[in-house]
Amino acid sequence: MADPMATVTRQTGLGMITIRADLDRAGDAIAEVAGLAIPDVTGITGDGSRALGWMSPDELLLILPASEVAEAKQALEQALTGEHALVVDMSNARAVFDVSGPHAADVIAKLAPVDAAAMPQGHLRRTRAAQTAAAIWRQGGGFRVIGFRSTADYLGLILQNAAIPGSQLAPR
């Protein structure tokens, strides 16, 4: 069997906090607690250990080490006191995969209607990977893919299959 086009690795030890708020009003408070700039529309900012992704006009996703979730959630709730806001620990509801290697963009392109090769650094794309919802962005020399934990086995399998040279998976 030929070598895979990319390496697919499930990531563990990450926490995720969904933040819903009026970003015009609460953005500065969120940025201060997160330690990251508020991303532009369809953007993601990061510092190596944390990332803050734009999910919708009133929703951000903070990705951080799982050991920091409780403290960050409490700090966000305190910083957003008086705002119409929601802060929820979504760590157990998501699965994270890294797709790395020189042909990682080709693997993503087999599954999602995304020109992954042209995706700029700092851009987050919400889309579908085959038949499951996913968020995708450049991470290091490849891509990070987040999906629902309930579809983690499926997402991992389709990513692994798409990494097989000559597989004919097409975007759905």
pLDDT exceeds 50 at position 171? no
CA atoms of 126 and 113, how far apart (whole Å): 10
pLDDT exceeds 90 at position 167? no
Structure tokens at 15: 């926490």
pLDDT in tens, 35-90: 999 999 999 999 989 999 999 999 999 999 999 999 999 999 999 999 999 999 99
Does 44 share its domain with 97? no
> Domains in the chain: how many in total?
2
pTM across the whole model: 0.92
Domain boundary (41, 74, 91) is at: 91
Q: Tell me what pLDDT residue 140 has.
A: 84
pLDDT in tens, 119-155: 999 999 999 999 999 999 999 889 999 999 999 999 9
Does 85 share its domain with 45? yes
Does 85 share its domain with 98? no
Q: Range of 121's domain?
A: 7-11+93-162
Q: For residue 158, what is the domain's CATH number? A: 3.30.1360.120
